Amino acid sequence: MKKLFDDVSRRASQSVTRMYSTSFYAGVRCLDKKIGDDIHAIYGFVRFADEIVDTFHDFDKQVLLSEFKNDTYLALERKISLNPILNSFQAAVHKYEIDFKLIEQFLHSMEMDLVKLDYNDERYKEYILGSAEVVGLMCLKIFVYGNQAEYERLTPFAMKLGSAFQKINFLRDLKDDVNELGRVYFPHIGAINNLSVQEKMMIEEEIETEFAEAYKGIVQLPKSSRFGVYLSYVYYTRLLREIKRRNIKELLHNRISVPNNTKWYLFFKSYVKNSINLI
């Protein structure tokens, strides 16, 4: 039965989220069950593409990403795929009429990761748009249950949130990006060791500004998704606080994270705030 295969596909995407990101998985569990599986579908697709360019070092990444890209478009065209991750993804895309251009932009950013680039302002913005902002927009379309007017109204806030998340990821992942992958996303600095205290502070202030703008959109989300998105926002703001306490040398030697006990504290604090309508 096709329904059984679709159920298996949804569970596969859910497993990807659970195995790769406990924080994001916790956030998705706080969403309305009607949309949770669809957010898992987006995450599974994004995660698999990211794994190709970030971790499959013993394989031809260019070939793998090209095949994944072709399989994605076939899944979207046929409305089915024997790859369960792509099958659940295409179902979510069609269900909410997610713009294919968002998918193309995301895959383009993944292709950018396959070559060594010197990031100027234009490429920096282009990469963030495709790797993070459009992912936020895919999720937003689900959060508003496909309502195009609400989607367009909340688009600027979702893009700010995605951008802030990605810039924090850049700082958090400096150790792996620089030492293992040879990537420096921040423009005009050359070697990451040249990033001054002032420049690091400017990046952090930029993130805080984007968070402040994104929060205005979070509080306008439907109740069915507001708490889950807010929880991710809270986790990342705490992660930013941890990053601000470290210098570049520390970031290059350690991947910064939020301790699990702190995550639980943040969860319960956020849950209480949500329960008494303080979000």
**CATH fold of 2-275, please?**
Farnesyl Diphosphate Synthase (1.10.600)
**pLDDT value at position 81?**
98
Q: Could you tell me if 219 and 279 are in contact, meaning their C-beta atoms sit under 8 angstroms apart?
A: yes
**pLDDT value at position 195?**
73
3-state secondary structure of 236: helix
Rounded to two decimals, what is the model's pTM? 0.94
Specify the length of the chain in residues. Answer: 279
**pLDDT value at position 157?**
98
**pLDDT value at position 193?**
62
**DSSP 8-state secondary structure symbol assigned to residue 54:** H
**pLDDT value at position 189?**
65
Residue 133 Cα to chain centre, angstroms: 8
**pLDDT value at position 188?**
66
Angle at 246 between CA 235 and CA 174, to 5 degrees: 75
Instruction: Profile the chain (279 residues) by mean pLDDT over runs of 10 residues.
Output: 93 96 89 95 98 96 98 98 98 98 98 91 95 98 98 98 96 83 77 75 95 98 96 96 92 89 92 85
- Alpha helices in the chain, H assignment, sequence order: 2-20, 22-29, 33-55, 61-78, 84-96, 100-112, 121-128, 134-143, 148-172, 174-179, 197-218, 223-244, 248-253, 260-275
